[in-house]
Amino acid sequence: MQRLYDFLRRHPTWVDSFWAVLLLGISAMVEAVRMEAAEAPGTDSPAAIVPVVVLLCLVIALRRRMPEKMLLLAIGVGVAQLALDVATTPANFAFLVITYTVAVTGARWASRLSLAVSLFAAPLAQVRWPERDSSVLGTVALMIFMTVPFVLAWVLGDSIRTRRAYYEQLEERATRLEKEREAQAKVAVAAERARIARELHDVVAHNVSVMVVQADGAAYVLDAAPDQAKKALETISSTGRQALAEMRRLLGVLRTGEHQEGGEYVPQPDVEQIDDLIQQCRTSGLPVDFKVEGTPRPLPSGVELTAYRIVQEALTNTRKHGGPNAGASVRLVYFDDGLGLLVEDDGKGAPHELYEEGGADGQGHGLIGMRERVGMVGGTLDAGPRPGGGFRISALLPLKPAH
């Protein structure tokens, strides 16, 4: 059944042709009865009636393929009926149908023309073929009664045209907004990846600087203090492995032409500086409860940087979207194989755009940066509204390098 319905929607002319044939058959039977009874006003010559009926049925068949031309054809047939004294037949129902069709899909001039013709069609028919034994008042009432369906057909068609235009405008606007959101998300992702690449590049550069210093020290004390030289070499080895792990997370994005102040590379924020970050938030008026669970231990530089940036971004979102009385809590949990982060607030909650549509809030990067950072270290991130109100961000950062 659904296939049949879809087929008919793709071939509307076939449907209209079916109704045209049906109307042709009804008109033929009615005219045959009327000719036998000799009750039809006006001429009863088949030579005049048959072309009128066939042309009006043709209007039904082609009404959606060429509505303006079929309207002009219907008007021409109507004028011919008046001139040749061919009385109305069931095929004249085509006037009502073409009026509706033109109001829905036709050009504006055709729609206005169909309305004007509809207002005069019934009165002209009554004047040309008046009812027998009908008073003037009855004739006027009949004219009005027969005009109303034409007007209603035009009003219905014009209303559907307006509604379709409104829906098309909404769809176009939704499509445009979707494309704009996708473009903003792509720009945000590209910018954030470049920023992450720069920060990771600084981490690697810092590790290489440490390796150079340790190597120089080992060379200096190699003969005088072999134990110190061995310790320095071990530091170089571990630092080099860590630097290689960070290099794998650069995602092929290279830093281009930007340097730190003074031309020197400096280490990026780490987990220990989260406490300073929270103190700054408290000073600015945002109450934050901070707890550390588990046994703190050294972490890869990329993991520490990611943890710091997640907390920083989460607290920034709380200040922006949580409201004036919002409070937050930060939990750092050291697991055997990873670092867990949980940042919650009891504010009014962030707009859904922050955690839907990829996390682009239209004003900044939203959660895009967090997701990119967590993905680069092979972790997972979950963000969304809390059941009791507010917002929650949880992340798990593995300690093993992400390949």
Residue 237 lies in a domain: yes
- What is the percentage of the chain residues whose pLDDT exceeds 70? 82
Specify which residues 137 forms β-bridges with. none
Could you report the per-residue pLDDT of 107-153, keeping only the tens digit for each? Answer: 999 999 999 998 888 888 888 887 777 777 887 888 888 889 999 99
Q: Are 331 and 293 in contact (CB under 8 A)?
A: yes
Instruction: Tell me: pLDDT of 266 over 50.
Output: no
Instruction: Tell me: pLDDT of 263 over 70.
Output: no
Is the domain of 99 the same as that of 24? yes
Could you report the per-residue pLDDT of 281-319, keeping only the tens digit for each? Answer: 887 778 999 999 999 888 888 888 889 889 988 888 887
Specify which residues 162 forms β-bridges with. none
Cα 80 from chain centroid?
53
pLDDT band at 159 (very low <50, low <70, confident <90, very high): very high
Is the domain of 256 the same as that of 275? no
pLDDT of residue 267: 52
Last residue of a domain, one of 236, 263, 290: 263
Residue 150 lies in a domain: no
Residue 68: Cβ-neighbour burial (10 angstroms; 0-12, 13-18, 19+): middle
Residue 244 lies in a domain: yes
Please state, rounded to an integer, the average pLDDT across all residues of the chain.
80
Last residue of a domain, one of 69, 99, 130: 130
Is the domain of 277 the same as that of 373? yes
Residue 147 lies in a domain: no
Residue 144 lies in a domain: no
Is the domain of 284 the same as that of 323? yes
Is the domain of 328 the same as that of 303? yes
Lowest mean pLDDT among 72-86, 175-189, 218-232: 218-232
Q: Are 104 and 93 in contact (CB under 8 A)?
A: no
Last residue of a domain, one of 245, 263, 281: 263
Residue 156 lies in a domain: no
pTM of the model: 0.48
Is the domain of 280 the same as that of 385? yes
Is the domain of 336 the same as that of 318? yes
Is the domain of 211 the same as that of 282? no
Kindly state the DSSP code that residue 160 receives in the 8-state scheme: H
Instruction: Tell me: pLDDT of 169 over 50.
Output: yes
pLDDT band at 209 (very low <50, low <70, confident <90, very high): low
Q: Give the number of other Cβ atoms within 10 Å of residue 329's Cβ.
A: 16
Kindly state the DSSP code that residue 268 receives in the 8-state scheme: P
pLDDT of residue 200: 67
Q: Are 71 and 113 in contact (CB under 8 A)?
A: yes
246: CATH: 1.20.5
Is the domain of 214 the same as that of 301? no
Average pLDDT over residues 47-57: 88
- What is the percentage of the chain residues whose pLDDT exceeds 90? 27
216 lies in which domain range? 181-263
Residue 403 lies in a domain: no
Is the domain of 206 the same as that of 282? no
Q: Give the number of other Cβ atoms within 10 Å of residue 57's Cβ.
A: 23
Cα 70 from chain centroid?
39
Total domains in the chain come to 3
Residue 221: Cβ-neighbour burial (10 angstroms; 0-12, 13-18, 19+): middle
382: CATH: 3.30.565.10
Average pLDDT over residues 246-268: 48
Instruction: Tell me: pLDDT of 67 over 60.
Output: yes
Residues 6+ apart with CB under 8 A from 1: none
How far is residue 119's CA from residue 116's CA, in Å, rounded to a whole number? 5
Is the domain of 315 the same as that of 227? no
Residues 6+ apart with CB under 8 A from 157: 99, 100, 101, 102, 103, 104, 111
Residue 158 lies in a domain: no
Q: Are 240 and 274 in contact (CB under 8 A)?
A: no
How far is residue 113's CA from residue 132's CA, in Å, rounded to a whole number? 31
Is the domain of 287 the same as that of 375? yes
Average pLDDT over residues 235-242: 74
- The residue with tokens 């879809």 is 6
